Structures are given as C-alpha cells and as structure tokens.
Amino acid sequence: MNLSVKKIIKTILPLALGGFLVWYSISKISINTLLQYFKDANYWWIALGLFFGVLSHLSRAYRWKYLLEPMGYKPDFGNSTMAVLVAYLVNYAVPRAGEVSRAAVMANYERIPFEKGFGTIVAERIADLLMMLLIIVITLFVQFDFIYNLLTKNVNPIKVIVLLIGLVLGFLLFTQYVKRAKSGFGLKIKNFVAGLIEGATSIFKMKNKWAFIFHTVFIWLMYVLMFWATIPAIEGLSVPIGAVLIGFIAGGFSIAATNGGIGLYPVAVAGAFALFNIAEEPANAFGWIMWTAQTVMIIVFGGLSFLALPLYNKNK
C-alpha cells in the first residue's frame, strides 16, 4: 500500500466513523427532542464553559515560549495564539495534521525552522499525555469504590484475577522483547518510549520548568472546568464529580479517535454517564451541546485566526 493511499484511508476512515456515530447517537434521541434541549439550554453556563476553554488556549500559546526561548526564539504572543487556534481547526479536517500546520505557521511568520517548532510541539504532547494519565489515576483513586463495585458486580472476580495475572505476565514478556529488539516493531516501540522518557525528563531540566508545569496543569484544569461548567446548562441534569471525571476522560479519548470527536463525543460521554444511572436522553443532549459549543468556538476563532494571520503580519 503506497503512502498516498494510506493518507486517504487515514482521512476518510475517521470521517466515515464519525458519520456512522452521528447516526447512532441521533438514533438514541430524536432530532426534535435534541433541538428542544438546545433551545432550552442555559447559554450563560455554556458561555462560562467556553471562557474556560479560551483561557486554556491562551495558556497553551503562552506556554509554548518556554520551549522556544532556549533555542533563541521569542515568538509574538499573537502569532502563537493564532497558530494554536489554526491547529485546532485543521485537526477537525485532517486528524493530527494540526501540529504540522502549527509549526508551519510559526515557520512562515516567526522564521522558526519547521523541524524545531514541530519538535517543541511533540514535547508539549508528551506533557499533555502525562496530564491525561494523571487525571486517569486521580479518577481511579476518587472513584475506587465505585469502579471496584462495578467490576465485582458485573465481572467474575476469578476471571478478573486471571486476566490481571495474564496482563502482568504479558507486559513483562513484551518489555523484555522490546529491550532486546534491534529492528522492526520492537525497535520502534523502544525508540518511542525512550523519546517519551527523554521528553518528560527534559521538562524538569528547562530554565522555566515550574512556569511550564504551572501552565500545563492550568490548561488541563481549564479543560475539566469547561466540561463541568457546561453541565448546568441542561436543567435538571445532576452529575456527580466521579461522572464528571469519567465523562471528561471518555470525551477526551473520543476527540483523539475521530475528527474533533464528531459523532463519537456524545456517545462516549453518554456511555460514561450511563454508568452512574444518568438518564440517556439528557446525557446525549449534554454531549451534543458540549461538542457543538467546542466546535463552534474552534471554527470561529480558528477561522478568524487563519484570516487574520497575514493581516497581523503584513509589515513583517
């Protein structure tokens, strides 16, 4: 299979999956009912959620300078912000292409070599991955009793123990295979893990590491607050903190799986809420309202940034 065919498949498959999931989600709630939820929603709460989202994007753009400055580059904050917003917009069209466009914008308007800009974005993604893992760990601790009861209630404990033993043994064998690998898939995994460790440890070696860590925590706190603040927009929807965290994690993975979470986001969030016996209809409606608010914000700000970049830099 040649490279062009792979690119086409990688672009079309997420869109096709998103289209199917849109149909599946709509099948769970009629369009008229969904539109009524949109009509009755409290948009002050939605605006508050979007405010937290905007703060996260601004913080992400500002955090970028801590990775670029040691290389001798001091990007304009306006260009950094617009590059981040354009990247989010591009990701809606082509999954994971936003990072490339973000580095390209800075190469064009800030004269930062593409490979250096892209390298700092990869380092950012490592920090973001660690934050997502941290949120998952916190959720496991906060909801330990709930998750334990859920598993013991629906799964045979003996099967769980056997599965865990199998997973541990499989992990140990796979680790040994990767350590000894000198080519092929094993070597790719080894290099990836080595890069992950190197990127993570480099954060603690940078000059402004605590400022970088602060902004990283702040960005993800704003993500969670954006999710939490939008819940009261639907009258009568009561969501405990555990459901907020699990719903947020499910929504986060859905965004990575399809173009901006199209179709999958409402399904993932509603599925997470269902674990807490939250009614399916308002849960689906919340997922669609949350996803729509985020998408409109990205389309508007990302589109405006795309148009404003050449005007903002016309004298350069």
Determine the pLDDT at residue 83: 93
Q: How far apart are CA 141 and CA 311, in angstroms?
A: 49
Determine the pLDDT at residue 2: 54
Determine the pLDDT at residue 293: 93
Token pair, residue 260, equals 């901006």
Determine the pLDDT at residue 170: 80
Determine the pLDDT at residue 24: 61
CA angle 286-292-293, nearest 5°? 90
Query: Residue 153, class by beta-carbon neighbours within 10 Å (0-12 exposed, 13-18 middle, 19+ buried)?
Result: exposed
Which of 52, 107, 57, 81 shows the shortest CA–CA distance to 305?
Answer: 81
Identify whether the C-beta of residue 41 lies closer than 8 Å to the C-beta of residue 69: no
Determine the pLDDT at residue 169: 83
Q: What is the pLDDT of residues 242-299, one digit of tens each?
A: 889 999 998 888 887 777 777 788 888 988 898 888 888 898 899 999 999 999 999 9
Neighbours of 209 (CB within 10 A): 13
Query: Residue 198, class by beta-carbon neighbours within 10 Å (0-12 exposed, 13-18 middle, 19+ buried)?
Result: exposed
Low-confidence ranges of the chain (pLDDT < 70): 1-28, 95, 146-160, 192-205, 316
Question: What 8-state DSSP symbol labels residue 208?
Answer: T
Determine the pLDDT at residue 215: 94
Grouping H, G, I as helix, E, B as strand and the rest as coil, residue 209 is helix
CA atoms within 13 A on the CB side of 289: 33
Identify whether the C-beta of residue 235 lies closer than 8 Å to the C-beta of residue 54: no
Grouping H, G, I as helix, E, B as strand and the rest as coil, residue 104 is helix
Token pair, residue 210, equals 């605590």
Determine the pLDDT at residue 296: 92
Q: How far apart are CA 98 and CA 143, in angstroms?
A: 34
End-to-end CA distance of the chain: 43
Grouping H, G, I as helix, E, B as strand and the rest as coil, residue 156 is coil
Q: How far apart are CA 36 and CA 285, in angstroms?
A: 9
Q: Which residues have CB under 8 Å from 166's CB, separation 6+?
A: none
Determine the pLDDT at residue 48: 96
Identify whether the C-beta of residue 89 lies closer than 8 Å to the C-beta of residue 303: yes
DSSP string, 246-309: HHHHHHHHHHHHTGGGTTHHHHHHHHHHHTTT--HHHHHHHHHHHHHHHHHHHHHHHHHHHHHH
